[in-house]
Structure 1
Amino acid sequence: MTEAADQALLRRFLLGLAEGMNAAADSTDKIRDTLVKVSSAYGRDDTDVVVLPTVILIETAAGDEGRVAIRSSVNASFRFDQIAALYRLIDAAGRAELTPLEGITRLNEIGAMKPSHGWIVRTFGHAVLTTGLALLLAPTWQGALVAFVLGAFIGVAKLVRSPTLQIVFPVFAAFACATAVFLIAPYFAIGDPIRLLIAPLATFLPGGVLTTAVVELAAGQMLAGASRLVFGLVQLSLLAFGILAAGTLVGVGSSSYVALDSGDGFPWWTALFGVLLFAIGNYLHFSAPPRTFGWVLLVLLVAYTGQVAGGALIGASVSGFIGALAMTPVVLWIATLRHGAPSQLTFLPAFWLLVPGAAGLVGLTEAIGTTRGYEDFAEALISIMSIALGVLIGTALYRVVHQGAEEIADFHIDVPAALAEETAPPFWARLLPGTPRSFWGRRRRAASSPRRADASMPPPLAEKSAPSSQATGS
């Protein structure tokens, strides 16, 4: 196979890896670093990568021999079993254990993977996930029962795989759940109706998108971070619109949009039971590999403990900062273990448990549906930013401890070799005899220049006789 064909296969393989990591909700800076590492493992250190949430560009070689491949990323999302298989492939590619053609075949197999659980188990898992979150947000038995039923309804509806319906489905889900909760609230003690609504809508909340956006902005990926931030805020607004539309249809007052105190309906250990149910629900609904369940549960417990401690020490609005700061190093440490779990497998459930998007949804709904307005919207933004800041600081601290501090990169542009000029040596080096462009060499050249400049002077005898002697010897 020719070198051009090998490069084309490598570019196609790298595009597939980038598209898969986009489907796993990875940040663009991490995707770029991974592709550069894989390309280097295959002997290509001249690869340049540009990654955006919807566009991927990869160039191999440089100059006139450079070739660019481009791909528009599809709107796909991987289950947890697909994410685990993708990261196993990335580990193998980082050691060049398979050819690019074999890697492309593996990527296609990952994209066509069937869920390890059937639709009934996955629907039940979504219902369990919703119930566990309801026990943390609105702890009443009636609220937990309503959350289980709504979670099963959303779980069945999410089985429909249609790109067109996925755009409008969050609004429909928010409208349907809010209508049911507002109609039931006057007759059953379900607790806070707004917080109860968060449970069945948890997997639609853009908490991970918003946090990834802030991390990308901090990493200098302005286009990717800004686009994700706008997308996350629009998704929050659509969910809030569905809730407000249901409230208008049912005819609820503005007081129904204000979050109430959760109360002390359950003992303290109920929260731990809710975290366990939340982990089980994620495992069943997203078809996670069995070996990852313990790691997910560990991260959830760390995140929840940090959030509770942050609420007691600092306040509820920034309690997510402590939870995110505590769980981020644990997530990154687990990803480095031989039998650990990929970071996205443990990050995403922790995001939904910390509910950065849930706090934003509550605040946005209150801001639009009540007279409190900007105060609630500001609290929503503070809640989102606090968790994003916790993830950012936790990631930075882990990298400093695990990898060491890196110096700031210098701004530098390589000049083509044909136009490059000889770099002048430092002054101290030019004082030493025998170094390039030395002052001593210049003096010797100046002393001999008159003799060499005279074109009429015949060359030395030795120089004239050397060719003839060599010819004789030959």
Structure 2
Amino acid sequence: LWVLLRRSRRESRDSAPPTAKEPPAVVLDAMASLGAEMIDCGYPVGPTRSALDEMARSHGLSSAQAVVFPTSILVSSGAQESVQTRVVTAGETSALLYQVDAIDRIAGVARRGIGAASWVLAALEHVHTMPAPFSRAQRAGAYALLSAALSVLLGSSWPGVALAAILGTGVGVLLLGSERLDTVRRALIVVTAALGVAIVVLLVARYVDPGVLPVAVAPLVMLLPGGLLTIGVIELATGDIMSGAARVAAGAMRLLLLSAGLVAAGALVGVPSVATSHWPLGPVMPWIAVAAFGIGIGVYQCARPMSIGWVIVVLYVAYAAQVIGDVFFDGVLSALVGAAAMTPVAVVVARLRTGPPAFVSFLPAFWLLVPGALGLIGAADMFEGDSSGMGTLVTTVATMVSVALGVLIGMAATGSVHGLRNAPPESWMRRGLDVQPRATEP
């Protein structure tokens, strides 16, 4: 991997930046719009700020500066006697993986000044008109698949796998139907989904099979803030204190909402005693479940079809490294090993023409490592007064830190500390984004 990374690096950092061919106002508009789109994709503020800084230098605005927060972008430049500033809001929507792929390629073109800033503005507008590669019915079915796969990885039984698929279908339809709701109603959806899933699981565990208890987490996988918390810890570790603290606080609030639903269900139905299932799964099933999870998450999040195979490769590397790490270390440090192993692979894959951006591969891996699942269970125990809840929460924090450190180690090993960069921008990065530049006023 190290040799491949060295051979594929074609950056020319010592070359002088080209002269800007467009007014600074247009460049600032493009920078603000690109930054907002990257935040909507879920990028940490560090790589986002790095992309905007490189775009400014490549367009001749060496004095331009960008201030990036999870909810807003501010760019300013004093290149022409008077200071010009653009402020836009961000983080109000979330992008699907095919949109993340397109925006990453746009950022790669913008970094090197290939094409005018007006092309960047037009391409960003074009992203929102691109059709999704999968229909809503396919996405609902994929959510059932990824729920069933995650229940296998969490140690469920055969009845639990079937129950996870059924509940996953319902939760998937609920989430797809609530995509355009405001933040208040989405918060209620989180509690409602957790309450409904927990009631069904507890009833089945009481009267059919106690081995279905892990299913309480599997259908809620897309509501778990694993990626949000991990990215927040990464930002805290790299010095972006305000954005990191905001993401961690948002992730903790999501855990509390989910826990409220679980605790309410436990109070209504009662929590059965844990017992051994009569229908256990074999040792091979988790390895099959990793591929099923990759397909499910790829279809539900609308990744490009050619990217799903690469996502599965990264997932297998992360899971295999975590299993091997668990042999030598405990479960917390095994997450560090898994994250450190998957990062170079994701970066190498991102440098291939058919490979997705590294961030597209990272997100499913975050959900696979599921640091949020442990936190959800621990918070629910604390609501019930269980003294083991605090220990589980401490384990969750340690797991998040381990995943974050693993990603940082992998980024340092691949020379990508300043950003999750895609391949050097070439003509293929414009494929599917061939739009006419926006007309600019003289």
Whether the 8 Å CA contact 1:136–1:271 is kept in 2: the answer is: yes
- Aligned pairs for 1:74-473 within 5 A: 74-160=91-177, 161-164=180-183, 165-189=185-209, 191-193=211-213, 195-252=214-271, 265-369=280-384, 370-399=386-415
TM-score where L is the length of structure 2: 0.84
Shift in Å, 1:220: 1.1
Shift in Å, 1:97: 3.2
Whether the 8 Å CA contact 2:76–2:83 is kept in 1: the answer is: yes
Partners of 2:143 and 2:380 in 1: CA distance: 24
Shift in Å, 1:105: 1.9
Q: Describe the shift of the 1:249–1:139 C-alpha distance in structure 2 as closer, same or farther (beyond 3 A).
A: closer
Whether the 8 Å CA contact 1:138–1:190 is kept in 2: the answer is: no
Partners of 1:63 and 1:92 in 2: CA distance: 25
Secondary structure, counterpart of 1:58 in structure 2: strand
1:22 is the counterpart of 2:42: no
Partners of 1:352 and 1:339 in 2: CA distance: 23
Shift in Å, 1:262: 8.5
> Which string of whole-angstrom CA distances, capped at 9 and with x for unpartnered residues, describes residues 124-180 of structure 1?
011111111111113321010000011111111111221232232222111111111
Partners of 2:136 and 2:23 in 1: CA distance: 41
Bigger drift between 207-216 and 365-374 goes to: 365-374
Partners of 1:235 and 1:61 in 2: CA distance: 41
Shift in Å, 1:111: 2.3
Secondary structure, counterpart of 1:138 in structure 2: coil
Shift in Å, 1:222: 0.9
Whether the 8 Å CA contact 2:380–2:389 is kept in 1: the answer is: no
For the aligned residue pairs, the C-alpha RMSD in angstroms reads: 2.4
Whether the 8 Å CA contact 1:362–1:380 is kept in 2: the answer is: no
Secondary structure, counterpart of 2:92 in structure 1: coil
Partners of 2:98 and 2:181 in 1: CA distance: 21
Larger radius of gyration: 1
Shift in Å, 1:90: 1.6
| 1:38 alignment partner, one of 55, 71, 75 | 55
Q: Describe the shift of the 1:301–1:264 C-alpha distance in structure 2 as closer, same or farther (beyond 3 A).
A: farther
Partners of 1:323 and 1:7 in 2: CA distance: 44
Q: Describe the shift of the 1:190–1:132 C-alpha distance in structure 2 as closer, same or farther (beyond 3 A).
A: farther
TM-score where L is the length of structure 1: 0.79
Q: Describe the shift of the 1:309–1:166 C-alpha distance in structure 2 as closer, same or farther (beyond 3 A).
A: same
Bigger drift between 149-158 and 183-192 goes to: 183-192
Shift in Å, 1:312: 2.0
> Which string of whole-angstrom CA distances, capped at 9 and with x for unpartnered residues, describes residues 398-452 of structure 1?
228999xxxxxxxxxxxxxxxxxxxxxxxxxxxxxxxxxxxxxxxxxxxxxxxxx
Whether the 8 Å CA contact 1:142–1:190 is kept in 2: the answer is: no
Shift in Å, 1:354: 0.6
Partners of 1:99 and 1:315 in 2: CA distance: 51
Identity of aligned residues (%): 34
Partners of 1:222 and 1:121 in 2: CA distance: 39
Q: How many residues align?
A: 396
Shift in Å, 1:215: 1.1
Shift in Å, 1:32: 0.5
Secondary structure, counterpart of 2:88 in structure 1: strand
Shift in Å, 1:344: 1.6
Partners of 2:360 and 2:195 in 1: CA distance: 29
Partners of 1:89 and 1:55 in 2: CA distance: 20
Partners of 1:65 and 1:209 in 2: CA distance: 38
Partners of 2:307 and 2:323 in 1: CA distance: 24
1:140 aligned partner, one-letter code: S
> Which string of whole-angstrom CA distances, capped at 9 and with x for unpartnered residues, describes residues 228-257 of structure 1?
11111111111111111111122336x56x
> Which string of whole-angstrom CA distances, capped at 9 and with x for unpartnered residues, describes residues 188-215 of structure 1?
225151x222211111111111111111
Secondary structure, counterpart of 2:408 in structure 1: helix
Give the corresponding residue for 1:444: none
Secondary structure, counterpart of 2:76 in structure 1: strand
Partners of 2:192 and 2:47 in 1: CA distance: 34
Secondary structure, counterpart of 1:70 in structure 2: strand
Give the corresponding residue for 1:415: none
Report 1 or 2 for greater relative contact order, CA contacts < 8 Å, sequence distance ≥ 6. 2
- Aligned pairs for 1:4-19 within 5 A: 6-19=23-36
1:391 aligned partner, one-letter code: V
1:48 aligned partner, one-letter code: Q
Partners of 2:302 and 2:112 in 1: CA distance: 28
Q: Describe the shift of the 1:400–1:328 C-alpha distance in structure 2 as closer, same or farther (beyond 3 A).
A: closer
